[in-house]
Structure 1
Amino acid sequence: MEGAASVPGFTILSVLGSGGFSTVYRALQESIGREVAVKIDHRVLLDEADRSRFRAEVRAAGQVSGHPNVIDIHDAGITADGRAYLVMELCPAGSLADYLRQHGSMPLTQVLDVGVAIADALAAAHRVGVVHRDVKPANVLYDRYGHPELADFGLAARYDPTTESTSTLELLTPAYAAPEMFWSRRPTPAVDVYGLSATLYALLTGRPPRWPRGGGNLTDAEIAGLHSAPVPGIAGVPDSVVAVLRAGMAREPENRLPTAGALRDALRAQRAALGTAPERLADPGAPGADHDVADQPTARLPRLRPSVGGDT
């Protein structure tokens, strides 16, 4: 593809999306004829310290990429001109951000199914010391079978209080970032509990919690004020469900649900109280749509028009 970056062994087919820091391409892995997503960073890794940090973050992401609700990472490297790239599973059905843009709020049972699946993925990451740091609707994609997968571990790193953090505020989406990310504190697993809870709240309401429309250029003081505001109830949603999400979005990390596993279990209990089996709304035209994955408590959604890089 003319003008696209070159990654050895891959033919770039089209641009899936582009943001301020990277471009994601649809590409063909030549050796086995498989279509994949290739994410190439716009910034050049100038020195060995930058390259070492990138390799460490890739290894951290690779620790959890085998989970059924984490996007698979097939390869990683650095282009000839010094830019980092990741080769990932292609998820053609779009993201939760696409769903919000196209449909607005999501039915409660589907939201709980998504929450259980992604909370379990986060629990697996936290068990090996990896914190995602940027859980939001745009980073939950749907595979070809309609299962939600947590993507973009580009900010992820091992939680180690003795090492330097590589994340910066400019890379975060404030509507879903935990308040302590603005307090110069090292991120802990509690930031992922907050991000997922905020994401699920947005799926139920069509909007991020506490966040005003058009609030893209708020000061740190204004953001702090929003984090201190109460989380409103949601019409048509049981108070017990809203209580779980409020517990996941407590302002102080020590007042939140203690772990992603605790959030998963609380969501699972709410789902069980509603009864009925998890909904499966697979696109009948999607490859493998009749494939049944055992013990997969996730919703299958209609095929969406994918757009990478949105922050809804």
Structure 2
Amino acid sequence: MKSGDVVGGRYLIRRKLGEGGMSFVYLAEDLLLGRNVAIKVLREPYADDEQFRRRFLREAQAVSLLSHPNIVTLFDTGTHDGAPYLVFEYVPGRTLKEEIRARGPLPLDEVLSIGDQVLRALAHAHNRGIVHRDVKPHNILLTADGTAKVSDFGIARALGGETLTESGTFLGSAHYFSPEQAKGETITPASDLYAFGVVLYEMLTGDLPFAGDSPVTVALKHVEASPPSVRERRPEVPVALENVVRRAMAKRPENRYPTAEAMRLDLASSLDPARRKELPWEEPGSDPFDTATWTRPFSEHASEKPGSPPTPGAGRESGAGRVMRVLRRPPVWGTVLALAFLFSLWWGIRALSAPFQVPEKEVPHVVGMTREEALRALEQAGFARVDTREETSDEVEAGRVIAQDPPAGTRLKTTASVLLTLSLGPNKVSVPDVRGLSLEVAKSRLTDFAEVRTEEEFSDTVPVGLVIRQIPAGGAEVVTKQTTVTLVVSKGPKETTMPDVVGRSLEEARVLLARAGFNPDPKVEREKSYFPAGSVIRAWPYQAGEKAAPGTKVTLFVSDGLLPDAVEVHYPVTVLPQGSEPVDVRISVSDARFTDHTVIRETVNGAKTYEVLLVLAPGKDGLLRVYQDGVLVLSQAIPYAEAKHGDTSGGNGGASSPPSPSGDASPLLPP
């Protein structure tokens, strides 16, 4: 695939944007809708490999279920020369990884803004059974207005079925592995939250929590090591914000946030003044105040030498008598003082640590209860701190508990908080806006709705096959399983205008005809002409600008090569602007093919050279005209006789250059 290729009959390749291990990414123009898109194409070595094709197309299946402002949109899919491709929205800007490399630690409010958007995207995906599996700053795109978009669901799949490991190989990036991912265990939404916890750590400190000489070394650290403190590297980070990172990066999935939405809400409030005195979060099961290794029992015979027998009759002597007997012995005063000091130290440690010896109790099962019932059950079990959040549910009636964190049966300190997720009732979602999309793509965005109906009508403004309007309108909040969406699809105009296809490639001409509502005849007539091989010579039965009914068949005549007396001339022209203002350039030619036909029209900001093609023939000399901001600045005649003998420099003969127009730019001149 190269610049100038037309993919799928509508996407004109402009340039390569980048490449990954399995695919290339190109910038292309959608000729049908006149917008830029990004096309990801599977590399040739993998295109014939069934395993890689399945993995690549898995991305399309996953992303087609997603429609969210913080997720890169999938527009179309197809196959080009045997290689599958995906068409995405083009997102100008740079990745979060590039932003961190350029700026280092990000401002706290910016961290919260990006975090909020990414977690909304993950929540949207998780609610539809999709786990990203490769969350990292390289896959988070940032636009100039601060919008964050999650990209590259290349190894995502619907939940359920086999585990992540395939042929013993870990998928993802080692620096952002969750412990379960590093061990090759089943991946869940909690794995995405761990990976994003690493991303938060990197945004806050500018560094990764774990480094190593190899991916295996880094992965092992995710399993075994605790990450360095964020606040040690950046003291101004509040404890509450560091707690979000600590909980997201908990080693055990059940100790992390229950959902991306729960993590988003906690992150959003992490800078609130009310949370300034929050204690550091500790993963359940760890006890920083455990004094088991600090104390040891004292023996009555601690002062005796090892192996020496007890004093006869010691068992019958009272405690007071033993103390007095010891005190009467001057040589053992040092031992007594040492024992007294150790006893005081032991007693002090116990006294200081007593307030921190918080009892652990088993969390009761409260899922399905009303809010009041759940709070009462938790209070009776000894848990006074209860946080709540709300979430829509199609299965659980409003006001009842959908989920709890931690789950029932977990042993938890009674001072810890229990999070309850309460139902808001049936799930209401925003209807996707599918206007301007093809019917096939529009339907793929509406698979969750009860029914999708279609109607057709004529339109002078919307191309054939695209959605004109929808009912309900995009953005309306509805219950998906109870809503029927009606799509009104364009049949094109009642009367359409024949486009100018002469000089175009066959593929471009067919796209233009289809967009205008005509039916290109698959059968093509070929003949020798003054047009290069493959170019359209003329169309029948209509010429450019004529009116016809939509659906009219048009036959295209295509050049089979130049006639023997034709001469091709490639004439160079250079523009040399002097100032910083852009210059509108138009170049027209008259030759054996055209009369005053515009071949180039664009705006330039600096020096640029064009190579203009003219085809000359006996009695059909060439004339090249160059306009700058609408003013003729060069008129160059190119006689057939001179071109036939190889003299196409133009010289002074036949050339007429009008005076340079006023302004900062110089006239366009031949080099």
Q: TM-score, normalised by structure 2?
A: 0.37
SS class of match (1:44): helix
Of 225, 230, 238, which aligns to 2:226? 230
Q: Match of 2:156?
A: 156
Q: Following TM superposition, by how much is the alpha carbon of 1:219 offset from its aligned partner in structure 2, in angstroms?
A: 5.3
Q: Match of 2:61?
A: 59
Task: Tell me the distance in 2 between the aligned counterparts of 1:122 and 1:172.
Answer: 16
Q: Following TM superposition, by how much is the alpha carbon of 1:185 offset from its aligned partner in structure 2, in angstroms?
A: 1.2
Change (3 A) 1:78 1:182: farther
Q: Match of 2:261?
A: 261
Counterpart mapping for 1:271-290 below 5 A: 271-273=271-273
Q: 1:217-240: CA deviations, max 9, x gaps?
A: 525355213442222123121111
Change (3 A) 1:13 1:250: same
Q: Following TM superposition, by how much is the alpha carbon of 1:247 offset from its aligned partner in structure 2, in angstroms?
A: 0.4
Task: Tell me the distance in 2 between the aligned counterparts of 1:195 and 1:33.
Answer: 37
Q: Match of 2:566?
A: none
Change (3 A) 1:18 1:67: same
Task: Tell me the distance in 1 between the aligned counterparts of 2:141 and 2:38.
Answer: 12
Contact 1:141 1:148 in 2 (8 A): yes
Q: Following TM superposition, by how much is the alpha carbon of 1:58 offset from its aligned partner in structure 2, in angstroms?
A: 1.3
Task: Tell me the distance in 2 between the aligned counterparts of 1:5 and 1:23.
Answer: 15
Counterpart mapping for 1:1-312 below 5 A: 2=2, 7-8=7-8, 9-42=10-43, 43-46=45-48, 51=53, 54-64=56-66, 66-82=67-83, 84-143=84-143, 145-160=145-160, 162-163=161-162, 165=164, 169=169, 171-209=171-209, 211-212=210-211, 215=212, 217-218=213-214, 220=216, 223-231=219-227, 232-234=229-231, 235=234, 236-273=236-273
Q: 1:41-69: CA deviations, max 9, x gaps?
A: 225343667645544431221211x2111
Task: Tell me the distance in 1 between the aligned counterparts of 2:219 and 2:24.
Answer: 28
Task: Tell me the distance in 2 between the aligned counterparts of 1:90 and 1:271.
Answer: 34
Contact 1:29 1:36 in 2 (8 A): yes
Contact 1:12 1:26 in 2 (8 A): yes
What one-letter code is carried by the residue in structure 1 that aligns with 2:221? G
Contact 2:29 2:37 in 1 (8 A): yes
Q: 1:122-159: CA deviations, max 9, x gaps?
A: 11111110000111101111246431011111111111
Contact 1:44 1:81 in 2 (8 A): no
Change (3 A) 1:226 1:164: closer
Change (3 A) 1:221 1:136: closer
What one-letter code is carried by the residue in structure 1 that aligns with 2:122? L
SS class of match (2:109): helix
What one-letter code is carried by the residue in structure 2 that aligns with 1:159? L
Q: Match of 1:308?
A: none
Contact 1:90 1:143 in 2 (8 A): no
Q: 1:12-47: CA deviations, max 9, x gaps?
A: 212222222222211111111111111222253436
Change (3 A) 1:4 1:247: farther
SS class of match (1:71): coil
Q: In structure 1, list runs of 5 or more residues that go unmatched.
A: 276-312
Q: 1:176-213: CA deviations, max 9, x gaps?
A: 1212112121211011101111111101111122x22x
Task: Tell me the distance in 1 between the aligned counterparts of 2:266 and 2:145.
Answer: 26
Task: Tell me the distance in 2 between the aligned counterparts of 1:141 and 1:174.
Answer: 20
SS class of match (2:191): helix
Q: Match of 1:300?
A: none
Task: Tell me the distance in 2 between the aligned counterparts of 1:94 and 1:110.
Answer: 15
Task: Tell me the distance in 2 between the aligned counterparts of 1:7 and 1:78.
Answer: 9
Deviates more, 1:264-273 or 1:97-106: 264-273
Task: Tell me the distance in 1 between the aligned counterparts of 2:256 and 2:62.
Answer: 25
Change (3 A) 1:208 1:41: farther
What one-letter code is carried by the residue in structure 1 that aligns with 2:183? W
Task: Tell me the distance in 2 between the aligned counterparts of 1:175 and 1:138.
Answer: 12
What one-letter code is carried by the residue in structure 1 that aligns with 2:36? E
Task: Tell me the distance in 2 between the aligned counterparts of 1:77 and 1:273.
Answer: 52
Task: Tell me the distance in 2 between the aligned counterparts of 1:18 and 1:35.
Answer: 18
Q: In structure 2, list runs of 5 or more residues that go unmatched.
A: 276-671
Contact 1:93 1:141 in 2 (8 A): yes
SS class of match (2:41): strand
Contact 2:170 2:182 in 1 (8 A): no
Larger % of helix: which? 1
Change (3 A) 1:20 1:189: same
SS class of match (1:37): strand
Q: Match of 1:288?
A: none
Task: Tell me the distance in 2 between the aligned counterparts of 1:222 and 1:48.
Answer: 31
Task: Tell me the distance in 1 between the aligned counterparts of 2:2 and 2:11.
Answer: 14
Task: Tell me the distance in 2 between the aligned counterparts of 1:78 and 1:110.
Answer: 40
Q: Following TM superposition, by how much is the alpha carbon of 1:120 offset from its aligned partner in structure 2, in angstroms?
A: 1.2
SS class of match (1:262): helix
Task: Tell me the distance in 2 between the aligned counterparts of 1:156 and 1:193.
Answer: 15
Q: Following TM superposition, by how much is the alpha carbon of 1:116 offset from its aligned partner in structure 2, in angstroms?
A: 1.2
Contact 2:189 2:259 in 1 (8 A): yes
Change (3 A) 1:93 1:177: same
Which structure has the larger Rg over C-alpha atoms? Answer: 2
Q: Match of 1:278?
A: none
Change (3 A) 1:178 1:44: same
Change (3 A) 1:108 1:274: farther
Identity over aligned residues, as a percent? 35
What is the RMSD computed on CA atoms of the aligned residues? 2.6
SS class of match (1:264): helix
Q: 1:74-125: CA deviations, max 9, x gaps?
A: 112233233x322111111111011012111110111011111111111111
